[in-house]
């Protein structure tokens, strides 16, 4: 019988409530979508928070945008299950799943127009290495591949690991021809050519 690894998933044994003063990235992303009048687009969102504000507000906005989001927190995932049970309409436009972003696989992702990697590098540790998880740059390149031409990857400049995000952005430009599309509030936008 094959030996089983003893490694455990590097999940987030915590939960995050909305706190605009400390972490406004989700709210700024919603402002960005609203200001640009984005409609009919596919969004991948890293880090739901227990508030699930990106999925909820996007559904409410009625602009036919879709959100697929990941959380590494059991509590945040449970919160999504409760939200969906109480409001099944949410399921048409907002799906959240539990997992480690660093196990992403292009074959399991849809074509996308916006990808938020707001927490890139924040929780990527040796624990992820113990089960062969991807690096931040590898994850960035997978999402770059899934982006439609002209699609965008956004980072959060207020992240304590923004230096990691900056290196991923540089790799997107050097290896995939992305353009630095500048800042919007606390966000940094990189645009795929096309």
Ligand X SMILES: C[S@@+](CC[C@H](N)C(=O)[O-])C[C@H]1O[C@@H](n2cnc3c(N)ncnc32)[C@H](O)[C@@H]1O
Confirm if 111 and 124 have CB atoms less than 8 A apart: no
Strand partners, 114: 43, 152
Q: CB-based burial of residue 89 (10 Å sphere; 0-12 exposed, 13-18 middle, 19+ buried)?
A: exposed
At closest approach, how far in Å is the CB of 144 from ligand X? 18
Binding mask 112-151 for ligand X (x = CB under 6 A): ------xx---x----------------------------
Confirm if 131 and 7 have CB atoms less than 8 A apart: yes
Binding mask 51-90 for ligand X (x = CB under 6 A): -------------------xxxx--x--------------
- Please, what sign has the CA dihedral across residues 127, 133, 139, 141? positive
Q: Does 47 bind ligand X (CB under 6 A)?
A: yes
At closest approach, how far in Å is the CB of 13 from ligand X? 10
Q: Does 101 bind ligand X (CB under 6 A)?
A: yes
At closest approach, how far in Å is the CB of 152 from ligand X? 17
At closest approach, how far in Å is the CB of 193 from ligand X? 27
- Please tell me the distance from the alpha carbon of residue 32 to that of residue 41, in angstroms, as a whole number: 13
Residue 38 token pair: 């984005």
At closest approach, how far in Å is the CB of 194 from ligand X? 28
Strand partners, 69: 45, 96
Binding residues for ligand X, rule: CB under 6 A, are 12, 16, 18, 23, 25-26, 46-49, 70-73, 76, 100-102, 118-119, 123
């Amino acid at each position: 019988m094959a030996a089983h690894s003893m490694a455990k998933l590097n999940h987030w044994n915590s939960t995050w409530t909305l706190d605009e003063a400390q972490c406004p990235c989700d709210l700024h992303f919603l402002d960005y979508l609203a200001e640009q009048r984005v409609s009919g687009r596919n969004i991948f969102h890293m880090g739901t928070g227990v508030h699930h504000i990106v999925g909820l507000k996007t559904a409410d906005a009625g602009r036919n945008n879709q959100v697929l989001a990941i959380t590494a927190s059991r509590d945040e995932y449970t919160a999504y299950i409760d939200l969906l049970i109480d409001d099944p309409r949410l399921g048409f436009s907002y799906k959240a799943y539990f997992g480690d972003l660093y196990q992403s696989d292009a074959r399991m992702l849809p074509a996308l127009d916006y990808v938020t990697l707001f927490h890139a590098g924040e929780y990527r540790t040796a624990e992820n290495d113990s089960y062969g998880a991807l690096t931040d740059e590898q994850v960035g390149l997978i999402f770059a591949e899934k982006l439609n031409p002209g699609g965008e990857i956004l980072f959060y400049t207020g992240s304590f690991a923004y230096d990691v995000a900056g290196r991923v952005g540089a790799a997107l430009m050097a290896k995939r021809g992305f353009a630095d599309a500048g800042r919007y509030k606390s966000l940094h936008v990189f645009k795929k050519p096309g």
